[in-house]
Amino acid sequence: MTYDFSNIFAKILSGAIPCHKVHEDDATLAFMDVMPQAPGHTLVIPKVPSRNLLDADPAVLARLFPVVQKIAVAAKDAFGADGVRIIQFNEAAAGQTVFHLHIHVIPIVEGAGLKPHTGKMEDGAVLAAHAEKIRRALRT
């Protein structure tokens, strides 16, 4: 399958759609999920067009996963989480709904449970505050 340059993450990368940025470098962008399953739910994406893990260049993955780790550590610290769930879907049959490679980083507090990912969008002020908490944790 070919990459769809009109997907929502491509639009975020182009600046056509805003996001609550947590981290950005020349190869990756991390931002808050607008329908978080838990406080601090962050997405990490490569800037290079890739549908998913199955077609990504290994060099893209080599740049992506150290950032996933960095965000996971910061999100765990920022939200006082007991653990971090890392999720990545490949193709519709596996649950992928946005066809740009993305990694979900979800801080997990034991016993708190997760909200459904198809629920309502979180308030922008809440997402901005959560992004700031993670950015502060990245600086320490």
pLDDT at res. 1? 78
| CATH code of the domain covering residue 49 | 3.30.428.10
Q: Is residue 128 part of a domain?
A: yes
Q: Is residue 3 part of a domain?
A: no
The whole-chain average pLDDT of the chain stands at 96
pLDDT at res. 122? 96
For residue 21, the SS3 value is: strand
Q: Structural domain of residue 85, as residue ranges?
A: 8-139
Of 41, 102, 104, 130, which residue is the catalytic one? 102
Q: Is residue 1 part of a domain?
A: no
Distance from C-alpha of 56 to C-alpha of 41, rounded to nearest angstrom: 23
Q: Is residue 133 part of a domain?
A: yes
> With bands split at pLDDT 50, 70 and 90, how would you rate the model's confidence at 140?
confident
Number of domains in the chain: 1
Q: Is residue 94 part of a domain?
A: yes
Q: Is residue 80 part of a domain?
A: yes
Q: How many CA atoms lie within 13 A of 99 on its CB side?
A: 12
Would the pLDDT of 18 be above 80?
Answer: yes
Q: Is residue 99 part of a domain?
A: yes
Distance from C-alpha of 68 to C-alpha of 134, rounded to nearest angstrom: 13
Question: Other C-beta atoms within 10 Å of 110: how many?
Answer: 7
101-127 pLDDT tens trace: 999 999 999 999 899 887 789 999 999
Q: Is residue 93 part of a domain?
A: yes
79-97 pLDDT tens trace: 999 999 999 999 999 999 9
**Is 41 one of the catalytic residues?**
no
**Across 1-23, average pLDDT:** 96
Question: Other C-beta atoms within 10 Å of 76: how many?
Answer: 20
**How far out from the chain centre does Cα 104 lie?**
5
pLDDT at res. 124? 97
Percent of all residues in the chain with a pLDDT value above 90, rounded to a whole number: 94
